[in-house]
Amino acid sequence: MDHSPACKDKKKKTIDQSMLLCCKLYISESRNHAALDAIERAARLDPESVIVNKFEDRAYNRVRYTIVSYVMHDSTGSAIYSPLQQTVMAMAEAAFGAINLEQHSGAHPRLGVVDDIVFHPLARASLDEAAWLAKAVAVDIGNRFQVPVYLYAAAHPTGKALDTIRRELGYYRPNFMGSQWAGWTMPEILHEKPDEGPTSICPARGISMIGARPWVALYNIPILSTDVTATRRIARMVSARGGGLPTVQTLGLVHGEDSTEIACMLLEPNQIGGDRVQNHVEMLAAQEGLDVEKGYFTDHSPDMIIEKYMKLTSEDRN
């Protein structure tokens, strides 16, 4: 077998292009720049994992990192290694070291410092491989940081939905001023047993959700009104749960001092995309006498993410 550098480079290139996993890591902080700097330094420790996008929102006090790397397999085709595992753990360690959930506040719901970690397959990678990595990271987070972890979607034994778990834990209920989330006010012993980690909670760290699912698009629509009750009413009518558009989940949230926003999760964006949701929101808002701005996606498309990953890793090699 040829072990020359050229052969290794060719093999690595094949892995990068055809077997990629994407991690979206949601952290409850966007105002503390020292904390974000520490998290991003941790992400750069391994150049084989790449942050391809960062979306931060000061009103929500929340940041999302989109990180990509390859997955490797053994001789039977089973996934055995991805640099993403150690990169996500390094970023989580930095987050837990720099952020105290008891001192956190924002206009977006959250249950933990490392609030949500979701893995998506890209290119020719499979959902099974994304689920394998999600479960491995869940064990690490639970054991190493003693944080309760709930698995969801393909990472959960029965495919339990993220929004179902969140409802059971009170995620959607504001605990401050009727529309904000601040500190930690939940019991420190969990009634719903987590999949990994302890049943007791450290209020400074909270809970983590970890899952694997096919690609999900996130689309936010600003409403030019401070009437969060009306925004929530529209959000519910748009959502599948409220009898609106199938495969669409929504949240009506305060966003800054003079507006609100409908945050939309499009579970099947190739079937129901941003334009259709936008049109439906505009129709419902007009009935309420409210103006709506053009919405925006908070991340790139899967194709753009792969393209950006390949470009960044190529620059690193050169």
SS3 labels along the chain? CCCCHHHHHHHHHHHHHHEEEEEEEEECCCCCHHHHHHHHHHHCCCCCCEEEEEEEECCCCEEEEEEEEECEECCCCCEEECHHHHHHHHHHHHHHHHCCHHHCEECCCCCECEEEEEEEEEECCCHHHHHHHHHHHHHHHHHHHCCCEEEEECCCCCCCCHHHHHHHHCCCCCCECCCEEECCCCCCECCCCCCECCCECCCCCECEEEEECCCCEEEEEEECCCCHHHHHHHHHHHCCCCCCCCCEEEEEEECCCCCEEEEEEECCCCCCCHHHHHHHHHHHHHHCCCCECCCEECCCCHHHHHHHHHHHHHHHHC
Q: Does the annotation mark 108 as catalytic?
A: yes
Residue 3: predicted pLDDT: 40
- The pLDDT tens digits along the chain (318 residues) read 444 344 334 344 345 457 999 999 999 999 999 999 999 999 999 999 999 999 999 999 999 999 999 999 999 999 999 999 999 999 999 999 999 999 999 999 999 999 999 999 999 999 999 999 999 999 999 999 999 999 999 999 999 999 999 999 999 999 999 999 999 988 889 989 999 999 999 999 999 999 999 999 999 999 999 999 999 999 999 999 999 999 999 999 999 999 999 999 999 999 999 999 999 999 999 999 999 999 999 999 999 999 999 999 887 666
- Full-model pTM: 0.93
39 lies in the same domain as 149: yes
42 lies in the same domain as 80: yes
User: Which residue among 181, 214, 247 closes a domain?
Assistant: 214
**Are residues 112 and 210 located together in one domain of the fold?**
yes
The pLDDT, as a whole number, for residue 4 is 38
> Is the same domain home to 99 and 41?
yes
Res 186: pLDDT = 87
The catalytic residue among 104, 108, 255, 280 is 108
Distance (Å, rounded) from C-alpha 185 to C-alpha 85? Answer: 31
Same domain, 206 and 223: no
Task: State the pLDDT at residue 318.
Answer: 61
Indicate if 141 and 46 belong to the same structural domain: yes
Q: State the helix-helix crossing angle for 33-43 and 83-98, rounded to 10 degrees.
A: 160
Q: Give yes or no: residues 207 and 228 share one domain.
A: no
Examine the domain organization and report whether 36 and 174 are in the same domain.
Answer: yes
Residue 318 located in a structural domain: no
| Residue range of the domain that includes 259 | 217-297
Final residue of a structural domain among 197, 214, 231: 214
Cβ-count burial 211-242 (b if 16+ within 10 Å, e if not):
bbbebbbbbbbbbebeebebbbebbbbbbeee
We report the CATH number of the domain holding residue 189 as 3.30.990.10
Q: What pLDDT does 7 receive?
A: 37
How many residues are present in the chain? 318
d(CA 171, CA 173): 6
CATH of the domain at 229: 3.30.70.670
Same domain? 152 vs 84: yes
Residues 34 and 150 in one domain: yes
234 and 284 fall within a common domain:
yes
Q: Which of 214, 237, 270 is the last residue of a domain?
A: 214
